[in-house]
Structure 1
Amino acid sequence: MSSSDATTRTAAAATPAPVVDVEQAEAALVEHYPRLVRLGYLVLPPSLGRNRRVLTAHAITQRALPRGRAAVERSVIPAQRAAGGRDGDPGYGYVRLRVLRSALEAGRPLLRRAWPRRSQLPSLLPQVWGLRLFPRSGGADELALDQRLSALSGPARAAYVLRGLERLADTEVRRMLEAAGVADPHAALAEADGVDAAYALLDSPEFDPCSLQARPTDLVRRRQHGRAALVAAAAALVCGTLLALPGEGWGPNGAAAPPYAQNPAAEAALDPGRLTRVEPETWRRSARTDFSVWPARGALTDDRGLLRRALAVWARPGTSVQVSATPGTPSGAPPGPAQLLYAGEVGQARVVVLHDGLRLVRYAEPRDGTGGAALDFARVDGAQAASSGAVVVGRGDGTVRYLTAPWVRGAAVRDLLRPTEGARPLRRSVDGVTAALTSAAQATTCTSVSALELRDDSGTRLHADLGELTPAHLTAGRPEAPREVTGRAAQASWAGTACLLPTVRTHGVRSVNSWAYASQRLPEGNGTATWVCTRADTWRGTGSRVLAQFQAPGKATGAVAAKAQDSPSCGVRDPRVLAGVLWKSRAGNWHVLAAGSKEVASVRATGGAAGAARGNVLAAPARKGARAELTGRLADGTPVSALR
């Protein structure tokens, strides 16, 4: 142990322990509840599974209060760095230590000869029946960090989280770990050093157990148990009623419908003969240009058996059917007769594509049988010509095949990473089905990112497959006036952004706009960098993702400087954006760089690096690992916050 640690321990022992009563701890718990639950969730062992980690994190946080309303707790609370605020509040320090201790105990193995601790047992409350709860999925960076944290021991994971989430110095982290019962805090810190310091990711929705998604539990097992319970209850009811009835037996049914009565609307929805089939030339006369005017195409549009199976599976998918739906898309039965868009063979599958006004539904089954069927749902309400140009009809081995709209006159493939190369023509069948092309959603190595280029009478548009039924429409330019990616400048801008497309896959993305909002001369004559804001908007309106990138000269792809979810920044409602990055020059000197959109009149950095500049760009000297707080102001003095 170092002399400084010994001195600190002596001083702490000589200082009177802070007094924490129930009211003070409760106030801290209520005020900082989301942060405490996030701390517990991150420290809990990932082997519990995301659903149980969420419930356990809430349980240990809610049990962090002192027992008894009249009790007064006295405890040496470590890591009190400031006189005020969260870090200077003894109540927060107390409940934080209790949450940390319980989360570490939950990760310890059960011993045969010792009673289990309360945190090692499944929590009784809070509990949610019939649902699995888990945080919203993040991008590739969050997934990689979660995997690296899962490989750490519990104390090392706690050390990393205290460093990154609580912004504690190593000395304070050691005190916290010792107070929580960790035998060797130094070893925990050394193990945590093996994980990259991606601390900003700890604040992402991936690790937020207070902002959750819900999915059902095992529906098949629930239905089996439910049926058994219903049969038992019905039998008891029948027996009891028969015993109580006089000699006449059952009475009249009154206003109740006959048993097992059929619903006429449901019957019509399952009848292939009731499917809506749009005439081939309707789109030419219609005021709308969307999926509602697509004609029925394909060689199997008259195969009533195939269509009946597709409708039946849509209404009642069996346990062997693979069902997927984009976020915010209901996967229930059709409300009435749907519109038939396509029925035909694509590769080794028979495919049916249907539209019910709100959703696209794709049914696929093997050509040599009906086993292993798949059912996919995607929300497409409010579609226009730009977002209804193509639908995915087939996937396989990292490739995708599209059914193009009837107004599409030509299709081509463009590699987003090679803007100087021309687009390659893409062959289409008579029904409008394209040949296979590489999916952008599978661009893990990022040596090539293929996009679908569609041409019609109104112009040329670019689309990218993000793992859903409809490809995302790619645009460039300011959010309030985006333009198609047809010019050299727009294509060159997308070359540095294309590798980030897989980070927004399977999120129900409708369009992705890439906007070079600022350029900056780098210090020490290191050239000129470009700042790019990329925004992915969804069909449901919520869940948008915003990425600010720093594209250094000579680099093929940009580095993510900041990211946000459900933020209006860089969009039509709020086109302003401000972001910063810690950058190292060729001479080895560190700088904090920041840039805002053209509306930003001044930028200031405080904290780990200090500096201010007029205009929308800032470069300030800094130290390695420095953290700066960025603020900007418009010409009228309105503050602009940095993207986060």
Structure 2
Amino acid sequence: MKQQQRQQQATPRHVDRGSPAGSEEAGDVIDVEQAEAALVEHYPRLVRLAYLVLPPGQSRGRRVLAAHGVVQRTLPRQRSSTRGLGLPAQRAGTDAAIDPGYAFVRLRVLRAALSGRRAVRRPPLFPQVWGLRLFPRSGGADELALDQALSALSGPARAAFVLRDLERLSTPEARRVLEAAGVAHAREALDEAERAATPAGSRDRSLLESPEFDPCALQARPTDLIRRRQHGRAVLAASAAVLVCGALLGMPGDGWGPDGAAAPPYARNAAAEAALDPGKLRVSSATAWKQAARQDFAAWPARGDRIHDKALLRRALAVWARPGAGVQVSATPGTAPGPAAGPAQLLFAGVVDHAVVVLLHDGLRVVRYAEAADGAGQTDGTGAALDFARVDGAAGDAASALVVSRTQGNVRYLTAPWVTSARLLDLVKPDAAGQPVVIGAGGVTSPVPTAQPAEKCTTWPALQAGGRLLTDLGELAPARLTYGRPRRPGEVTGKQAKAAWARTACQLAAVRGQGVRTVNAWQFARQPLPTGAGLAAWLCTRAETWRGAGSRTMAQIQPPAPSGAPYATGSVTAHAEGGTACGPRNPRVLAGVLWKSPAGTWWLLAAGSGQVTSITARGGLHAQAAGRFLAAPATAGDHAELTGRLKTGGRIEALH
């Protein structure tokens, strides 16, 4: 097993000179914004699908609420991969898969409707209207017969029926979606759906698209009026008891009033009470950072036009301590989304892009609370969001900015008080002049574009704030980009550094949403290519996370760029999760690749950092070279295990 792992670690990848980068394709990733847009656009269609697939045992009214609940809880909390999910491709002449975002959300709806979870069987308290029952309109005899036929099918068979006859997927596409949704016997489910005895019109959408199966077109009827009247006196007595108990067990003083989207409180202690009191929030003065011994988030002043809004701050703290079921909560990997241990520090409170935002810092984490500016959703939590991100140990460069708003492909940053100017740069175009970014009086920048998923990466925005280069990777804290030796990386300012990042920037998509703190690019070698093809640069790119663990290292080769594309993205030859390679603790690396020359011949190339004194290739191809470069003739498909010797006499294996 160990020998097999070493062979996989040192097996070079095929790279055709002039081919595009080996970065992750945009089609493999769905952003939260993309999924949200698909959900909003196709909401009635998704709710109808959930209604048809849910178990028929419950009443029609409860199934309506359950269907809406399933769809409204399908949005992912962070950027999600679609690899292995079996999403069908768009087929000409049909709307079977409107877009990848819709296919992704549809799959999550199917999973939830088929899972049989308690949340599906028991719909949440909201939405509902006291004293009214909501249910779809009644159909005719054909609709009733179809409903009975679907009720007789198993859950997977109902899903297969809907995918085939409502979504109009082909049998192979429907089978892939069912398998991705967790159906163990997708073929049997399709066969069961095919055998179902259904009335005319069931297979051409005419019945499935009728108001009988539309959970968005509802009728309202009163509940049992006589029973409600009989229980009136009991309800009044119970309410009086609750008021008495609330007065005895309530909070000291005058109380705080409504807690917005927060869940009911749990057992309290003094530290927890202090953390929930907006009057005890720590606030730094506007000039405290000038005399602070350490420039970090603790030195940031409180800014924004709502920092004195006690009701807003109370809601933000209460939701932080106990977010309700409707609150959208996200946390970067390795970040605990729990309540604060004591009073936090207020960094910002104000209206930004039609949302009210509160930024708080508890010494280890930054917490962002947001709610709709018009007050919608404050009661049931549907308009509230809570985001957590680790920032422990952040100081100086690492505490230069935070994301305060993210809308429609743009972000706004809240900059540190010591940042006085900022410019927008495009990493892919290092020769282009940057654009000035306005920093308002409250420290909030004008909208800055963020990198968008696309088939071909042609741009990667970055913010230059106070000489530091920052880029948005989907976190509250932007990642800092550096260049140079791992133990003493520098800013991305020189021509060589800018050119290296221009050919590396598009590979940052592979580390989005991973809680990345810094990304350093290090050119550890420049190798003469065989047949006089010029010099190739070998780079090692290492992304460090706030949590320490989970770092990602990539080795890439950047052969001479073709004419007309001076900054073509390099090709990733190896990558590793964790470890110390290319980091300050172990600043050395060895990497290899199969390279096709312009003449059409194949070569095994390998290069090591300055400590490497010899390289040996074993396995399907045998070669050896003194020094830190190896170039040996090869054929397509060759495999080799690369090892090297160090100046200290030690041994190094190739990055895998």
What range describes the TM-score normalised by the shorter chain of this pair?
0.5 to 0.7
Contact 2:78 / 2:330 at 8 angstroms: preserved in 1? Answer: no
Whole-Å Cα distance in 1 between the matches of residues 284 and 117 of structure 2? 39
1:465-519 alpha-carbon deviations (Å, 9 max, x no partner): 1000000011000101100111221111111110011110111110000011111
Distance 1:625 1:593, change over 3 A: same
Compute the RMSD of aligned alpha carbons.
3.1
Q: How does 1:161-560 map to 2 (within 5 A)?
A: 262-371=268-377, 372-440=383-451, 442=453, 445-455=456-466, 460-554=467-561, 556-560=568-572
Distance 1:219 1:566, change over 3 A: farther
Structure 1 runs not aligned, ≥5 long: 1-27, 34-136, 153-216, 226-256
Q: How does 1:582-601 map to 2 (within 5 A)?
A: 582-601=594-613
TM-score (norm 2): 0.59
Which residue in 1 is equivalent to 2:649?
637
Contact 1:357 / 1:381 at 8 angstroms: preserved in 2? Answer: yes
Contact 1:562 / 1:643 at 8 angstroms: preserved in 2? Answer: yes
Q: 2:547 is aligned with what amino acid?
A: R
1:195-225 alpha-carbon deviations (Å, 9 max, x no partner): xxxxxxxxxxxxxxxxxxxxxx979689999
Whole-Å Cα distance in 1 between the matches of residues 335 and 512 of structure 2? 15
- Describe the SS at the equivalent of 1:486: coil
1:369-410 alpha-carbon deviations (Å, 9 max, x no partner): 242211000001111111100000001121111000001011
Q: 1:496 is aligned with what amino acid?
A: R
Which residue in 1 is equivalent to 2:204?
none
User: C-alpha displacement at 1:260, in angstroms?
Assistant: 7.8
Which structure has the higher relative contact order (CA within 8 Å, separation 6+)? 2
User: C-alpha displacement at 1:364, in angstroms?
Assistant: 0.7
Which residue in 1 is equivalent to 2:628?
616
Whole-Å Cα distance in 1 between the matches of residues 118 and 403 of structure 2? 28
- Describe the SS at the equivalent of 1:277: coil
- Describe the SS at the equivalent of 1:563: strand
Q: How does 1:150-165 map to 2 (within 5 A)?
A: none
User: C-alpha displacement at 1:261, in angstroms?
Assistant: 6.3
User: C-alpha displacement at 1:618, in angstroms?
Assistant: 0.9
- Describe the SS at the equivalent of 1:490: helix
Q: Structure 2 residue aligned with 1:574, among 566, 582, 586?
A: 586
Distance 1:483 1:529, change over 3 A: same
Q: 2:370 is aligned with what amino acid?
A: A
Distance 1:222 1:506, change over 3 A: farther
1:46-94 alpha-carbon deviations (Å, 9 max, x no partner): xxxxxxxxxxxxxxxxxxxxxxxxxxxxxxxxxxxxxxxxxxxxxxxxx
User: C-alpha displacement at 1:450, in angstroms?
Assistant: 0.5
1:333-353 alpha-carbon deviations (Å, 9 max, x no partner): 111111000001111111000
Whole-Å Cα distance in 1 between the matches of residues 267 and 555 of structure 2? 57
User: C-alpha displacement at 1:568, in angstroms?
Assistant: 0.1
Contact 2:552 / 2:577 at 8 angstroms: preserved in 1? Answer: yes
Contact 2:79 / 2:513 at 8 angstroms: preserved in 1? Answer: no
Distance 1:32 1:413, change over 3 A: closer
Q: How does 1:30-49 map to 2 (within 5 A)?
A: none
Whole-Å Cα distance in 2 between the matches of residues 382 and 361 of structure 1? 16
Whole-Å Cα distance in 2 between the matches of residues 571 and 151 of structure 1? 41
1:283-341 alpha-carbon deviations (Å, 9 max, x no partner): 10010111011000000101111111111111111111111001111000111111000
Whole-Å Cα distance in 1 between the matches of residues 602 and 83 of structure 2? 25
Q: 2:320 is aligned with what amino acid?
A: W
1:200-258 alpha-carbon deviations (Å, 9 max, x no partner): xxxxxxxxxxxxxxxxx979689999xxxxxxxxxxxxxxxxxxxxxxxxxxxxxxx99
Contact 1:532 / 1:550 at 8 angstroms: preserved in 2? Answer: yes
Whole-Å Cα distance in 2 between the matches of residues 262 and 481 of structure 1? 48
Whole-Å Cα distance in 2 between the matches of residues 593 and 139 of structure 1? 35
- Describe the SS at the equivalent of 2:370: strand
Distance 1:420 1:580, change over 3 A: same
Which residue in 2 is equivalent to 1:13?
none
Structure 2 runs not aligned, ≥5 long: 6-76, 90-115, 125-248, 251-264, 378-382, 563-567
Whole-Å Cα distance in 2 between the matches of residues 573 and 607 of structure 1? 30
Whole-Å Cα distance in 1 between the matches of residues 559 and 435 of structure 2? 30
Which residue in 2 is equivalent to 1:51?
none
Contact 1:380 / 1:539 at 8 angstroms: preserved in 2? Answer: yes
Q: Which moved more, 1:496-505 or 1:363-372?
A: 363-372
Whole-Å Cα distance in 1 between the matches of residues 481 and 362 of structure 2? 26
